[in-house]
Structure 1
């Protein structure tokens, strides 16, 4: 089994008939999915998503793939292929199109409609190319065939990429629901046909590789959702991903059956459900969905609200309701249905939302106490089934944290695939398919690119470290008035303290530290204010840690007296 190594360097020149595969996101993490294929000097991008920040990344909106490796070759990109419309697969597209707006974007009807609506907010008019299952198109040296896959959003596609170097089958996110709400099942006959042709690299969704058996059908949720609508004494508030059309269809059906009117709350929810209805993926009577203002005047027993915030996002509607910051005031008798999974890393945020809602008297129904969510990803039994019908020459697990990738690799090996032909790669690792053999040949930059408000890439790990220090330890500003002739303090320094448990008087003991630091600087002939500030910051920081076992952010300001 091939594993990446930290000593990997930039890859060598790709042989003329080789195919290079580089995951710039989604390998070793759940989110930020992006894979670049290189063949005969041309590039193909499959998916371009975002990763949502965790608690240790304060102030960050989303995290993008690193475009560094392709930035000077944007003109070589034939197209961006999108497998489906979830944010972790399409959220980065606007940022890539900012750098070259005319890259063709290929995807299914719903996927393109969702990305087009998103791009309007970025004032980008994209070049869109709609495809459907069964279509086969040529883009430069890449022959692309699309196959239907079932997922938690309609219109998902797997993509088979044929080149002179070999055939790659990328499943995208998928499962094998045999009773899907839209009657569109994963095209296993197509997978088997490609297997007969010969799949050189099979790139498979790893998210549920640790879960035994088969993933439940979406239809199995209907009884739990129906029970919530039947028994709720007042309002029903449902939080879901804004792209989960199937789940929201079930909610609308239950609301219709029990005589409740529905309002969508949250910009992305309103936008996506409008797109889904316009295209026929979401169906409901004209009078079922009403504006929020109309809903406020109705009997609470006849009301249902569908909103964003299922992952505890601080600015989403549900979190603001839990914190009493939303115009919807949660009260006794309200029932909140959290109809989604828990993305790893969001557990604490979701728990805080549940506690907040419960505090105001709501009954919270979630995955932990009711069958209100099924995964959109194939479990181990489904993955093994696919390996047995495709019989690929190589397997490259994708879309998962390290444990998921490893579990998927182990499944492939158990079906008889040579361990030497199972490639586990992390973000940035280069896999080359040359003369029928795939192997790791190097590594390219693939770090986190942070979006902070309107700034892309401005925030760094050092920025986040400072923010965490501010949040956890506070900040101490040292204002030192220094005599330019002697290098000594002209008067005692001031200590301005915020968020630190001790007051200015406590830091009077640090005055000698500043004096000694300046004396040493003067003895060494150091008079540059910036150097003096750096020295004071370092020494006061050491003193603070020794004195208090705390390391606040120290900011030193030297003023020439």
Structure 2
């Protein structure tokens, strides 16, 4: 965990967000001051069994907690704020600055974790300026798929470090949200931008991203043409899409019921902050929506990513306590699957279709547009801000590479663009650049209990159990007389069907018997650890030779005193 910055160098590094979609967390360090930008989570891969999401190891920040001046937030999506409770559990004194909508979501998270009363939360706006002895922070307005989206400028003696956050350049945003502030971006560019950290999610898309207003019109037309009940699924934080769905319901005389705690919170926050203006009588509860004629009913719910416990999955599985599918239902997925969620989403769509629902999804129906800019918007960001150095962030490795190529197409020198990995420390001055060390940042897994201490070993064990199965070995031994008194007995779960594998089980028992005798012959008082290790290693090799599979071996040795 070595970082060697010279006194005049600005250090830039990611605690998460490089080589991946999610877990965004970027830091700027100058001498004894650190500014953190965003603190998100990442959704688990398919083979990370029983894991809800992944956060980063914050050890470097804990070690340097006295240097941290602020955590500033670009917007309220999970991959930018979901890790905040886990960071504040370790360093509660960090002041957190966020826009109004993001702050309302952060408060909800901290309250769930019992941290709200001890947290230092402050509201930021596009004209906010935070001043510290050596660094200062200002903001610039962008657009995304959520209200109150800002880019961040960290001002250093060597120039400004700009972080775009998630952005697209939508000139016709919905909900009376303002367009991007090109003037402020240009002003920062003219003052001198040392480095630009830019969103790479759509680096492989060669065009501009469609405006949210285009999707709003398309969704309105689709909803107007539906006769039966509508189940509308999207991200709870995508208030633009929620607003569009509710407005279409109002225009077509439908009542709206909301399902899913995060959706309920998101809508309530939108109402409280004045972003959602919903006519009285539009929102109804579950009992009323069940007695509303289908052509006058809309269900607004979570679960567009196929999450097994979300409202839509429970409706599809028939396990929802209040809502069941009806033959003429239309389900609208107004989102794209996050990388890693495609299989779950496809499975959910199949379930809904099998149950008789009509499913509307995908780009073909124009029910979703990305909140991330394509290559043309990425070029515009570079041309307006005119950075000396360029660092693609928030994207998988190939996206970062393509984004650097896009930057180079605008005239950026190749040696001024950097494809970094999480933990790489880039040291910059106006005239120099170098890698100044690497911070070790292992994954931290959070399981369904909310615990953030699920280690790599546990996840690996779950993978082995799922793929190879479990074999339990039970034996009673008398070390004094070097005898096996009972067993060894072998039980299999998920490895082989025991009734059809009697020959294999019998051979494995004999194999373990000989292992026990050999270990006791070597040492009259062998340690239980050595005995178990010998059984695991030898039995795994034996079973692999017979089946080409390596199940988890769990020895249970009972010693007769």
Aligned residues between the structures: 552
Deviation of the 1:457 alpha carbon: 4.3
Distance 1:487 1:318, change over 3 A: farther
CA distance, structure 2, for counterparts of residue 73 and residue 296 of structure 1: 55
**Is this contact kept in 1: 2:43–2:52, CA < 8 A?**
yes
Deviation of the 1:435 alpha carbon: 4.8
Q: Which residue of 1 aligns with 2:375?
A: 380
Q: Which residue of 2 aligns with 1:252?
A: 246
**Is this contact kept in 2: 1:232–1:333, CA < 8 A?**
no
Which secondary structure state, in structure 1, belongs to the residue aligned with residue 85 of structure 2?
helix
**Is this contact kept in 2: 1:18–1:435, CA < 8 A?**
no
From 117, 129, 137, the equivalent of 2:130 is 137
> Equivalent residues in 2 for 1:186-225 (5 A)?
186-225=180-219
Q: Which residue of 1 aligns with 2:543?
A: 544
Which secondary structure state, in structure 1, belongs to the residue aligned with residue 232 of structure 2?
strand
Deviation of the 1:121 alpha carbon: 1.0
**Is this contact kept in 1: 2:56–2:443, CA < 8 A?**
yes
- Say whether 1:335 aligns with 2:330: yes
Which secondary structure state, in structure 1, belongs to the residue aligned with residue 205 of structure 2?
coil
From 226, 229, 236, the equivalent of 2:230 is 236
Which secondary structure state, in structure 1, belongs to the residue aligned with residue 289 of structure 2?
helix
Q: Which residue of 2 aligns with 1:359?
A: 354
CA distance, structure 2, for counterparts of residue 55 and residue 140 of structure 1: 46
Distance 1:357 1:455, change over 3 A: closer
Q: Which residue of 2 aligns with 1:312?
A: 306
From 521, 524, 527, the equivalent of 2:522 is 524
> Equivalent residues in 2 for 1:153-302 (5 A)?
153-181=146-174, 182-302=176-296
**Is this contact kept in 2: 1:160–1:167, CA < 8 A?**
yes
1:266-309 deviation line (CA, Å, top 9, x unaligned): 11110111011100112211211111222122112211111111
1:57-81 deviation line (CA, Å, top 9, x unaligned): 1111221121011112223211110
Deviation of the 1:369 alpha carbon: 4.0
From 416, 419, 429, the equivalent of 2:424 is 429
1:36-76 deviation line (CA, Å, top 9, x unaligned): 22112121111000011121111112211210111122232
CA distance, structure 2, for counterparts of residue 415 and residue 534 of structure 1: 59
Q: Which residue of 2 aligns with 1:94?
A: 85
CA distance, structure 1, for counterparts of residue 205 and residue 301 of structure 2: 29
Deviation of the 1:135 alpha carbon: 2.5
Mean Cα displacement is larger for which, 183-192 or 240-249? 183-192
1:184-213 deviation line (CA, Å, top 9, x unaligned): 111122111111111110111111111011
Which secondary structure state, in structure 2, belongs to the residue aligned with residue 98 of structure 1?
helix
CA distance, structure 2, for counterparts of residue 124 and residue 511 of structure 1: 53
Mean Cα displacement is larger for which, 546-555 or 344-353? 546-555
Provide structure 2 residue ranges, at least 5 long, that are not aligned to the other structure.
none
Mean Cα displacement is larger for which, 17-26 or 223-232? 223-232
Deviation of the 1:454 alpha carbon: 4.2
Deviation of the 1:378 alpha carbon: 0.8
Deviation of the 1:138 alpha carbon: 0.7
**Is this contact kept in 2: 1:341–1:373, CA < 8 A?**
yes
> Equivalent residues in 2 for 1:61-76 (5 A)?
61-76=52-67
1:375-429 deviation line (CA, Å, top 9, x unaligned): 0001001111222222211001111011111111001111111110101111111
**Is this contact kept in 2: 1:449–1:456, CA < 8 A?**
no
Q: Which residue of 1 aligns with 2:505?
A: 507
Deviation of the 1:221 alpha carbon: 1.3
Mean Cα displacement is larger for which, 433-442 or 288-297? 433-442
Provide structure 1 residue ranges, at least 5 long, that are not aligned to the other structure.
1-8
- Say whether 1:533 aligns with 2:532: yes
Mean Cα displacement is larger for which, 53-62 or 451-460? 451-460
Which secondary structure state, in structure 2, belongs to the residue aligned with residue 489 of structure 1?
strand
TM-score (norm. length: structure 1): 0.95
From 469, 472, 480, the equivalent of 1:477 is 472
Deviation of the 1:244 alpha carbon: 0.2
**Is this contact kept in 1: 2:255–2:283, CA < 8 A?**
yes
From 476, 483, 486, the equivalent of 1:488 is 483
Deviation of the 1:150 alpha carbon: 0.3
**Is this contact kept in 2: 1:79–1:139, CA < 8 A?**
no
Distance 1:64 1:228, change over 3 A: same
